[in-house]
Amino acid sequence: MKISVKVPATATNIGPGFDCLGMALPIYNTVTIEETVLPGTGVEINVFSDSSEVDELSIEHMELNENSLVYKAVELLFNSIGQTPSELKINIQSDIPIARGLGSSASIIVGGLIAANELLGRPADEAALLSIATEVDGHPDNVTATITGGLVLASQEEDCSVIYRKLDWPDDWTITLCIPDYELTTEISRSVLPKEVAMCDAIFNTKRLGMFIEAINKHDDELMKYALQDKLHQPYRSKLVPGLDKISEVLRHEDSVLGCVLSGSGPSMLVISNKNNTDKIHSVIKQTLNDINIKAEIKTVQIEPCGAQVVSNED
Ligand code: HSE
């Protein structure tokens, strides 16, 4: 059997929702798992990419062996039904840029997990898939948005279960995505965060997350401008993401711009706006990054409503 699963990229945090808000974006990886017939061939993992974004250095970040995250996820699923994966070929078509805060690891984990679940006759339900994927990836905000699509509020609870609710993103709020051409691993980006934060900063984010939920419920653009702020991670990470503060500051004065936030742990950024005319946003980002010699891909997208999907299943 050969199963392919198409999986979207994700942006998490989205301002005030550090480690709990996630959204799917229309950039995809495809993970294919094939049972190989020859006994003793073990597990083979290959990565392919059509995109110039995935260079050799990026691919080096992925361990293509039994220590890989995708293999760990597949193994946990097999183990949960008392089996061990043996002869498997895992091919990853990687078009989500790696180490850019776009959930490429989560997408590969989830893709592998869903493909393996199909191969095994679907022993795991969504809750089990969420738990295994979160155990391997460590980020419920990423894996939940990858699995469900759309915008989610997700939390891993003490018993390791993941609870989530989907939230409605207004159709006319567009996302301009800026993907710089350098890598920033989540590990490095988390290493600059403090172990503890001031009570006033925690309260600042609590208020903003409440505003975020109300703003999307009521489609309240003015409230969203207050909501898309953060004091828990962006102030610490901005030193690793040159241009972020300047772009936010310049775009703050644009009426159509609701906010500028880091995508996950960066270095990608999202500018959220309420009109389709995004020329000004593109030119501000381009000019600011040009001035500091940073190349980036800039594109305006809509949220991806669909999560990971089986796209082919051959016997
Ligand atoms: N919410 C996590 C972080 C996402 O910001 O560190 C990591 O991909």
Instruction: Report pLDDT digits (tens) over 17-34.
Output: 999 999 999 999 999 999
Mutate which of 14, 153, 186, 187 to test ligand 1's pocket (most atoms within 8 Å of Cβ)? Answer: 186
Query: Could you tell me the fold of the domain covering 2-167+303-314?
Result: Ribosomal Protein S5; domain 2 (3.30.230)
* Buried-exposed string 63-99: b where 16+ CB fall within 10 A, e elsewhere: ebeeebbbbbbbbbbbeeeeeebeebbbbbbbbbbbb
Residue 56: per-residue pLDDT: 54
Report how far ligand 1's centroid is from the alpha carbon of 267 (Å).
11
Residue 60: per-residue pLDDT: 54
Give the closest residue (by CA) to ligand 1 atom 3: 265
Give the closest residue (by CA) to ligand 1 atom 4: 264
Check: CB of residue 133 under 8 Å from CB of residue 73: yes
DSSP bridge pairs for 178: 269, 298
- Numbered ranges of CATH 3.30.230.10 in the chain: 2-167+303-314
Residue 312: per-residue pLDDT: 87
Amino acid at the residue 117: N
Mutate which of 10, 18, 209 to test ligand 1's pocket (most atoms within 8 Å of Cβ)? Answer: 18
CATH code given to domain 173-301: 3.30.70.890
SS3 190: helix
**Residues in Cβ contact with 268 at an 8 Å cutoff, skipping those fewer than 6 apart:** 11, 97, 100, 101, 102, 177, 178, 179, 180, 262
What are the Cα distances from residue 199, in Å, to 82, 170, 203, 206? 46, 32, 6, 10
Report how far ligand 1's centroid is from the alpha carbon of 265 (Å).
5
SS3 260: strand
Mutate which of 20, 141, 237, 261 to test ligand 1's pocket (most atoms within 8 Å of Cβ)? Answer: 141
Closest atom, ligand 1, to C-alpha of 103: 8
Report how far ligand 1's centroid is from the alpha carbon of 19 (Å).
6
Residue 35: per-residue pLDDT: 86
Characterize the bridge pairing of strands 2-13 and 151-156: unpaired
Whose CA is closest to 167, among 209, 124, 204? Answer: 209
- Numbered ranges of CATH 3.30.70.890 in the chain: 173-301
Closest atom, ligand 1, to C-alpha of 13: 1
Report how far ligand 1's centroid is from the alpha carbon of 186 (Å).
6
DSSP bridge pairs for 43: 88
Residue 258: per-residue pLDDT: 97
Give the closest residue (by CA) to ligand 1 atom 8: 264
- Reported as a single tens digit per residue, the pLDDT across 226-258 is 999 999 999 999 999 999 999 999 999 899 999
| CA atoms of 259 and 248, how far apart (whole Å) | 7
Residue 29's φ and ψ, nearest 5 degrees, are: -110, 155
Cα torsion 175, 176, 182, 184: sign: negative
DSSP bridge pairs for 221: none
Report how far ligand 1's centroid is from the alpha carbon of 25 (Å).
15
* Buried-exposed string 108-147: b where 16+ CB fall within 10 A, e elsewhere: bbbbbbbbbbbbbeeebeeebbbbbbbbbbbbbbbbbbbb
Report how far ligand 1's centroid is from the alpha carbon of 20 (Å).
9
pTM: 0.93
| CA atoms of 179 and 74, how far apart (whole Å) | 30
Tokens found for residue 204: 């600042």
Q: Which residues of the chain have pLDDT under 50?
A: 57
Residue 61: per-residue pLDDT: 59
- DSSP H helical ranges for 94-198: 104-119, 126-137, 140-148, 186-191
Ligand 1 is surrounded, with C-beta below 6 A, by: 12-13, 19, 139, 141-142, 186, 190, 233, 264-265
Question: Number of C-alpha atoms within 13 angstroms, CB side, residue 29?
Answer: 32
